C-alpha cells in the first residue's frame, strides 16, 4: 500500500483524534491503561501546531490520514510533541517516515536539534527512537523548556519514573 507524508489540511484535524485514540490503545498492553483511556488532544491544541509548528500526516492511497506527527519548538530545538499511527497501518515504517519528515521540517526552520519526551521502557517508544538516532538526554542537558514540560507531564499524572527526554542533532539529510 503506497503511503505519503504531507502537511495536514485544516479540515483534516478532526480526524486525528480517532488515530490518536486507536494508537493509544496499545499502551494498555504494557500496563499503561491510563494512557489508553486518556481522551485525545483537544482540537484547539492540535490547531495551534498549524500556527507554531507543523501537523504532518501519513496518508493512504485515498489521501486519508492514517498517522500524524505534531512538531513544534522548545528553546530553539524542534520538539516532537506527538507521534501516532493507526494500528491498522502500524509496523509499515510510517512512524519512522513521520519522524524523518518532522526532522526535515524542524531543520528547515533553523532547528539543529530535535527533542521528544517518551516512555523509556515501551518498545515502540525510547527503543524505537534510539534506532532513529535519538539518545536519552541526561537532566544536566535539559533546557528550561524541557523542565517546564517535565512539570506539565508530572501534573498530568504520567508515571515519571518511566519517562525520559531524548534528543538528536539534525543535519541536512
**∠ Cα 25 26 30 (to 5°):** 120
E-only strand ranges, 75-126: 77-85, 113-119
**Section 34-48 average pLDDT:** 92
Specify the pLDDT at position 47. Answer: 97
Specify the pLDDT at position 32. Answer: 86
Mean of pLDDT over the chain: 95
Taking 70 as the threshold, does the pLDDT of residue 1 lie above it? no
pLDDT-derived band at 60 (thresholds 50, 70, 90) equals very high
Percent of the chain at pLDDT > 70 equals 99
Strands of 65-74's sheet in order across: 4-7, 54-59, 65-74, 77-85, 113-119, 163-169, 135-136
Grid cell at residue 97: 517516515
What pairing do the DSSP bridges indicate for beta strands 135-136 and 163-169? antiparallel
What pairing do the DSSP bridges indicate for beta strands 77-85 and 113-119? parallel
What are the beta bridge partners of residue 33? none
Classify each residue of 59-79 as buried b or exposed e, where b means 16 or more C-beta atoms within 10 Å of its C-beta.
Answer: bbeeeebbbbbbbbbbeebbb
* Domains of the chain, start order: 4-169 (3.40.630.30)
What are the beta bridge partners of residue 56? 7, 69
- What is d(CA 147, CA 173) in angstroms, rounded to the nearest whole number? 29
Amino acid at each position: 500500500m503506497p503511503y505519503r507524508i504531507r502537511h495536514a489540511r485544516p479540515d483534516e484535524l478532526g480526524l486525528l483524534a480517532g488515530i490518536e485514540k486507536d494508537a493509544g490503545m496499545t499502551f494498555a498492553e504494557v500496563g499503561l491503561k491510563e494512557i489508553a483511556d486518556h481522551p485525545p488532544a483537544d482540537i484547539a491544541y492540535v490547531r495551534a501546531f498549524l500556527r507554531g509548528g507543523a501537523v504532518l500526516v501519513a496518508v493512504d492511497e485515498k489521501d486519508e490520514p492514517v498517522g500524524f506527527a505534531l512538531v513544534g519548538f522548545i528553546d530553539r530545538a524542534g520538539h516532537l510533541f506527538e507521534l501516532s499511527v493507526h494500528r491498522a497501518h502500524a509496523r509499515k515504517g510510517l512512524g519512522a517516515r513521520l519522524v524523518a519528515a518532522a526532522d526535515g521540517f524542524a531543520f528547515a526552520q533553523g532547528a539543529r536539534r530535535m527533542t521528544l519526551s517518551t516512555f523509556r521502557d515501551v518498545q515502540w517508544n525510547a527503543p524505537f527512537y534510539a534506532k532513529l538516532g535519538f539518545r536519552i538526554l541526561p537532566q544536566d542537558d535539559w533546557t528550561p523548556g524541557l523542565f517546564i514540560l517535565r512539570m506539565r507531564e508530572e501534573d498530568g499524572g504520567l508515571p515519571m519514573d518511566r519517562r525520559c527526554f531524548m534528543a538528536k542533532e539534525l543535519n541536512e539529510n
